[in-house]
């Protein structure tokens, strides 16, 4: 699902600082682009790229040689050894599944594939029986995770695309912190983490200005339904599935943005909110004390003041 953003201002540059104290690098990873801006340190792009390559080789659904792909091929009942990275992210994903009442589900790989949203090349949308079969193999209870071991009791297929980019952002931020970076911004595919004070703009519907958010030592992740869509049974749907039904969600949300210390968690929460809709998303945000911006796709009058819900901001 698309993660979209606009960076409005690079704040706080002192007049006494020379241009060579600022550094910026860009590149490609995880099927998208990344950019990093920093002050007071020289960014080691080789180290960054090596860590991103390692993360991609663990979590990629597109690389048949990745750890994730190997786990998805693991026979039912077999016990697989998993990496520390995979164990950590999967443990967090299982916890998030409970926190979000199942709207965040890392076991939806089969559903994602039968709808043609994943690696598989699908010519036709699935039948109800195909959806039911995939849904039956998407229950997170079919996973047994014990430290660095994973066992499947059914042919559940993992897809961690809604959490892996956020994890990668956190990991790159760790590298910059270890280099004593005083002020930086890490962005991968629209997921952003900053150190210091930055002004970030959340993309709004066409004709509306971006929504300015000030971040201080925080992350922001945005999930939206306005770039990728398809028509099924005469109706337009976004590439967002309800994990409870296996069907596309007819969401009333244009986008959901979550601000959190952890970009990995912000990524997952924003994804879950898009699946559950504005009412449940707002309720969850208040319960979990999540700083959140929800933009509704049913615009009121005046539009800008009535279709934005800010929680904790």
Q: Count of domains in the chain?
A: 1
User: Residue 57, exposed/middle/buried by CB under 10 A (0-12, 13-18, 19+)?
Assistant: middle
Report yes or no on 1 lying in a domain: no
Report yes or no on 288 lying in a domain: yes
Q: How confident is the model at residue 239, as a pLDDT?
A: 76
Inter-residue contact 134 to 110 (CB < 8 Å): yes
* Average pLDDT of the segment spanning 132-147: 93
User: Which domain covers residue 54, as residue numbers?
Assistant: 6-311
Q: How confident is the model at residue 42, as a pLDDT?
A: 93
- pLDDT 10s digits, 186-212: 999 999 999 999 999 998 877 778 899
Q: Which of 132-136, 169-173, 222-226 has the lowest mean pLDDT?
A: 222-226
* Average pLDDT of the segment spanning 1-25: 49
Report yes or no on 280 lying in a domain: yes
Residue 170's pLDDT band (cuts 50, 70, 90): very high
- Its pTM stands at 0.89
| CATH number of domain containing 283 | 3.10.520.10
Which of 253, 255, 298, 300 has its CA nearest to residue 277? 253
* Cα distances (Å, whole numbers) of residue 282 to 182, 187, 286, 308: 34, 26, 6, 11
CA–CA distance, 172 with 48 (Å, rounded to integer): 7
- pLDDT 10s digits, 237-280: 567 899 999 998 878 898 999 999 999 999 999 999 999 999 99
């Amino acid at each position: 699902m698309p993660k979209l953003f606009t960076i409005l201002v690079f704040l706080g540059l002192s007049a006494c600082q020379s241009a060579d104290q600022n550094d910026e690098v860009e590149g490609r990873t995880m099927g998208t682009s990344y950019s990093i801006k920093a002050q007071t340190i020289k960014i080691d792009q080789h180290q960054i790229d090596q860590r991103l390559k390692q993360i991609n080789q663990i979590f990629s659904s597109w690389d048949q040689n990745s750890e994730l792909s190997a786990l998805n091929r693991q026979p039912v009942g077999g016990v697989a050894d998993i990496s520390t990275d995979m164990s950590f992210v999967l443990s967090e994903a299982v916890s998030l599944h409970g926190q979000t009442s199942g709207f965040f589900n890392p076991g939806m790989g089969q559903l994602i594939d039968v709808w043609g949203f994943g690696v598989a090349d699908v010519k036709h949308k699935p039948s109800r029986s195909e959806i039911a079969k995939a849904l039956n193999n998407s229950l997170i209870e079919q996973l047994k995770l014990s430290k660095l071991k994973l066992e499947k009791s059914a042919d559940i297929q993992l897809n961690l695309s809604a959490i892996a980019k956020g994890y990668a952002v956190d990991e790159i931020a760790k590298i910059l912190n270890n280099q004593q970076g005083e002020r930086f911004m890490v962005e991968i595919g629209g997921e952003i983490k900053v150190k210091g004070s930055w002004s970030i703009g959340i993309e709004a519907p066409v004709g509306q200005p971006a929504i300015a958010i000030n971040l201080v030592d925080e992350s922001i992740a945005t999930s939206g339904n306005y770039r990728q869509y398809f028509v099924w049974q005469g109706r337009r749907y976004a590439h967002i599935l309800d994990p409870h039904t296996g069907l596309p969600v007819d969401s009333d949300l244009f986008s959901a943005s979550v601000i959190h210390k952890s970009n990995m968690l912000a990524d997952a929460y924003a994804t879950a909110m898009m699946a559950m809709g504005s009412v449940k998303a707002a309720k969850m945000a208040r319960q979990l004390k999540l700083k959140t911006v929800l933009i509704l796709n049913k615009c009121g009058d005046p539009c800008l003041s009535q279709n934005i819900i800010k929680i904790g901001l």
